[in-house]
Amino acid sequence: MAEEVKAVSEEDAVISLQGVGKRFGERWAVSDFDLRIPRGVTYGLLGPNGAGKTTSLRMIYGLTEPTSGSLRVFGKEVRENVRAVRARLGVTLQENVLIENLDPRENLAVFGRFHLLRGKALRDRIEFMIDFLELRSHADVPVRALSGGYKRRLAIAMSLMNDPELVILDEPTTGLDPAVRLALWERVRELRARGKTVVLTTHYMDEAERLCDRVAIMSEGKCVMEGVPSELITTHLARETIEFDCSVKEEGEFLRPLEDPRARVRVGRRLMLYADDTGVYMDRLHQREGADCRPFIVRPTNLEDLFLSVTGTSLKEVE
């Protein structure tokens, strides 16, 4: 991991955190966080609720001051350059902040003025964002009458009004239907294609796996794993997963004659075995249970498996 981090030089890094910590009272929400995010990548900050993701983001855009460590964005110390740094980034907060009585166009205008846009530049940018997030059919409807999907798109459009180089999305798709999620993923890919750096947090591991070039998994304020999702999965778990229900007693009996899997995770009765070739476990099940074989699933290992094996508390990982 250390080598991976070094590979991104200081100049290329849009965001660079060194030993960053934040304490609230007695509790360290984030501690000893090292992070380098290179220009142009889409980066996922993952972790269970309370892991310190939002606090990390707030420090990055200069709202919360770190208790310790050094934090640079666009190569600038955030604390001393808050206005300059924020002028070049855009943030979509976890909860939409919209003016309910105004329509999307007016909301965009208000937000554009926060960046001192005016006149034709403001009007052009509003129309551009309305097209970019496909809001045109609802551009003149008061926000309070919009569906959750439209509101979220508007919130994202607002955070892009200043054409930011760095886009921060805090749980962009939480609570949205699959069609809207897919549409928003497309927008994120589009931003990436335009050379923007995107940092997002999410609880959906499929989202992180599909969108993110790199991810950091946080747990209890610390970064516990960092890297390219597919590489992390094969390094820390294995390519394939076989999962089925069985008791702890059966598990021991089942695995005794076999080589240990690379890792295993248990959630209640559900057992997941990770191996580069799950064939041996399939054969063993068939051999033991014949025609009455219990149902099982063989699938590619995904980021969710890794996430659970790293952050889960009631789960067991084979060393």
Partner 1 sequence: MRLSLPYAMSVWRRNAAMYKRSWKLNLLPNFFEPVFYLTSIGVGVGAYISEMAGMSYAEFLAPGLVCVAAMNGASFEVTYNVFVRMEFEKSYDAMLTTPIEPIDILVGELLWAMSRACIYGLCFFVVVSLFGLAAFPGALLALLAIPLTGFLFGAIGLAFTMLIRNIDLYSFYFTLFLTPLFLFSGVFFPLEERLSGLALLVAEVLPLLHPVRFARSCFLGNFDFIMLWDLFYCVALASLLLWWAQKRIRIRLSE
Q: Report the interface residues with partner 1, using CB under 8 A.
A: 61, 63-65, 82-84, 86-87, 89-91, 93, 95, 97, 99, 101-102, 106, 109-111, 113-116, 158-159, 162, 168
Strands 166-170 and 197-201, how do they pair? parallel
CA nearest 251: which of 313, 242, 314, 302? 242
Radius of gyration of the chain, Cα coordinates, nearest whole angstrom: 23
CA nearest 16: which of 24, 8, 28? 8
Check: CB of residue 266 under 8 Å from CB of residue 312: no
Q: In the complex with partner 1, which residue's Cβ is closer, 102 or 315?
A: 102
Other beta carbons within 10 angstroms of residue 275's beta carbon come to 22
Question: What minimum distance in Å lies between the beta carbon of 113 and partner 1?
Answer: 4
Question: What minimum distance in Å lies between the beta carbon of 203 and partner 1?
Answer: 21
CA distance 47 to 89: 23
C-alpha pair distances (Å), 182 with each of 159, 172, 211, 314: 19, 12, 11, 32
The two structure tokens encoding residue 29: 């929400």
Q: In the complex with partner 1, which residue's Cβ is closer, 45 or 285?
A: 45
Q: In the complex with partner 1, which residue's Cβ is closer, 102 or 183?
A: 102
CA distance 98 to 159: 11
Q: In the complex with partner 1, which residue's Cβ is closer, 88 or 222?
A: 88
Q: In the complex with partner 1, which residue's Cβ is closer, 109 or 271?
A: 109
Q: In the complex with partner 1, which residue's Cβ is closer, 37 or 168?
A: 168
The DSSP annotation for 58-121 comes to HHHTTSS--SEEEEEETTEETGGGHHHHHHTEEEE-SS----TTS-HHHHHHHHHHHTT--HHH
Question: What minimum distance in Å lies between the beta carbon of 161 and partner 1?
Answer: 9
Question: What minimum distance in Å lies between the beta carbon of 78 and partner 1?
Answer: 13
Question: What minimum distance in Å lies between the beta carbon of 198 and partner 1?
Answer: 15
Q: In the complex with partner 1, which residue's Cβ is closer, 84 or 258?
A: 84
Q: In the complex with partner 1, which residue's Cβ is closer, 55 or 202?
A: 55
Give me the residues paired with residue 263 across strands. 274
Check: CB of residue 141 under 8 Å from CB of residue 103: yes
Residue type, 302: N
Question: What minimum distance in Å lies between the beta carbon of 225 and partner 1?
Answer: 28
Question: What minimum distance in Å lies between the beta carbon of 154 and partner 1?
Answer: 12
The two structure tokens encoding residue 267: 């959630």
The two structure tokens encoding residue 38: 């290179």
Q: In the complex with partner 1, which residue's Cβ is closer, 89 or 275?
A: 89
Question: What minimum distance in Å lies between the beta carbon of 277 and partner 1?
Answer: 48
Question: What minimum distance in Å lies between the beta carbon of 150 and partner 1?
Answer: 17
